[in-house]
Amino acid sequence: MSGSPMIHPTAIVASSAELGTGVEIGPYAIVEDNVYIGDGTRVDAHAVIKQYTRIGKRNHIHSHALVGGAPQDLKFRGEVTWLELGDENTIREFATLHRGTEGGGGITRIGSNNLCMAYTHVAHDCHVGSHIVLSNGATLGGHVTVDDFAIIGGLSAVHQFSHIGTHAFVGGMTGVAQDLPPWMLAAGSRALVHGPNLVGLRRIGASRETIGALKKAFRLVWRSELSRAEALEQLTSEYENIPELMEFVNFIYKSERGLCPAEKNLSKGVDDDAATR
């Protein structure tokens, strides 16, 4: 990518903003002071990039999105905090991405290759990984962590300080109030864990052994009479050679909010035979 930035004559770009090569700023877009936009990024008509925002390369900010907005936090007093956006993200119409707060470390960080669909919201101090999909209207409260490859369904909301693990799947219209471990699927008006994210596991070519181990992990952690510590100890002793399983175990050990509960209908649980299908 080469060439000077292409700025539409109706756009407003602050003199202190730094634009990389090949950046496109569309009609009526606004780019404020203390903004850094990497090479090849496109900002469409009427989008707003607020101050104290760093944007990487080859992102596409669609019309009417707001990137780097001030935190919706009553403790915020206008201090200098930042939003950092990685490379090759797609931010669709009316999405809102807010910068951090002093109490949360001063930065909201979003990785690369993410899709934030229309009307999604990433609140202050969130740490969002890469290759994540936030479906239409999905909302992350403040201080939320979302790990790589997770999918958050449309019109879902994640409570402040919650943690969504890698390759986890949150169904549409779901309220997530606690942590959702990696590779698990949750849905319901209040998030209930239904078992492993089998579609996601198969998409990445997970082995039958890995899928079977995660199904057993679901049963031991949410369905058995073992204490959580006993369940994790048993899983570690049996499957320490399976990285996905150990990531699941380590996530639970580190959980601060506790885990989303399981759905109560045992007939819908993960069956033993399915582990070999």
**What pLDDT score does 274 carry?**
38
Split at pLDDT 50, 70, 90, the class of 2 is low
**What pLDDT score does 263 carry?**
83
DSSP H stretches of helix in 204-269: 208-218, 228-239, 243-254
The larger pLDDT score, comparing residue 264 to residue 200, is at 200
Question: Which sequence positions are flagged as catalytic?
Answer: 124-125, 142
Question: Strand 82-85 relative to strand 192-196: parallel, antiparallel, unpaired?
Answer: unpaired
- Whether pLDDT at 44 is above 70: yes
Taking the model in full, what pTM does it have?
0.95
- Whether pLDDT at 267 is above 80: no
Two structure tokens written together for 141: 């409260």
**What pLDDT score does 3 carry?**
87
Supply the mean pLDDT for the chain: 95
CA-wise closest residue to 116 among 59, 201, 188, 193: 59
- Per residue in 244-258, pLDDT (tens digit) is 999 999 999 999 999
**What pLDDT score does 273 carry?**
37
